[in-house]
Amino acid sequence: MKQYEVENKFLKSGFSINCNGRLVDLSQPKVMGIINITPDSFYDKGRLESVEAALERVEQVIEEGGDMIDVGAYSSRPGADHVLEEEEGKRLWPVLSAIRENWPDLLISVDTFRGQIAEKAVGEYGVDIINDISAGQLDDSMFDTVARLNVPYILMHIQGDPQTMQQKPHYKDVTGDVVLFLAEKIDQLRSRGVSDIIVDPGFGFGKTIDHNYELLHNLEQFKMFELPLLVGVSRKSMIYRFIGGVPETSLNGTTVLNTLALTCGAKILRVHDVKEAAECVKLVAKTRQL
């Protein structure tokens, strides 16, 4: 048995996270709608370059059954241009302000690897969750910041950074390496008093197509952490470079992989296409009620 393999008995039947005093039950998986405030997202329909466009997108997410949104102002697609912290904030603050004004109770995650951005997002705009693609590697202050803010933290694996991550990624054993990486980071977070941790294997972040599918095949191994699992495969190259096409033609493949992820224990699906993901959640839940 490999060192990261565990029995299903270690899996809790449900999870919850504390979002600014609200206990969010994850025993029924949730759908997180992507709100990209960037000019260079890998998916054209994911690019929102005005407050008005962002608000329209949020309304769509809610109408289609989304449970929460993830707002990002720094593109993390492979080879994306580096954006200075000032520019990230300039894009982010007006949108967060407008969202909070229109939907004061909406669960909001902010996608950032910068501690100061996280601090202001939570302190001034009441953001509920911090989603860090770097697991604290790109800003040494992030773990201490999250501990001080006392908000749920999405801990994602990445090899390298958005500018370099797809330059010949290599692993001895991709599942084992990712699990051990996350285990070490979880220990660091818990030593600081962070208890609400959501784990994300980081599909597409420093992985080849084969790495991604090996992780998906072994997704149940992440149950060992007894923590909520987030899966983000929406319209990624692991789909269209394998079966052909482009991001715009990858909805069906996304739905297939989201369904597989749910059957393997995913508790949050981070997606562009909310209606289809919400339907996946309902259908998979129905099969388990029989």
- The residues that are catalytic are 236, 270
146, 122 contact by CB (below 8 A): no
The rounded Cα 271 to chain-centroid distance in angstroms is 9
Contact 271, 254 (CB under 8 A): yes
Q: How far from 35 is each of 46, 55, 73, 254, CA to CA, in Å?
A: 7, 9, 9, 17
- Asked if 103 and 62 count as a contact pair (C-beta separation under 8 A), the reply is yes
259 near 282, Cβ under 8 Å?
Answer: no
Burial letters for 27-59: b for 16+ Cβ neighbours within 10 Å, e otherwise?
A: eebbbbbbbbbbeebbbeebebeebeebbebbe
For residues 243 and 257, the answer to whether their CB atoms sit within 8 Å is no
Handedness of CA 179, 187, 73, 261 (dihedral sign): positive
Q: Tokens at residue 204, please?
A: 């597409």
H helical segments located in 126-236: 142-149, 174-191, 209-217
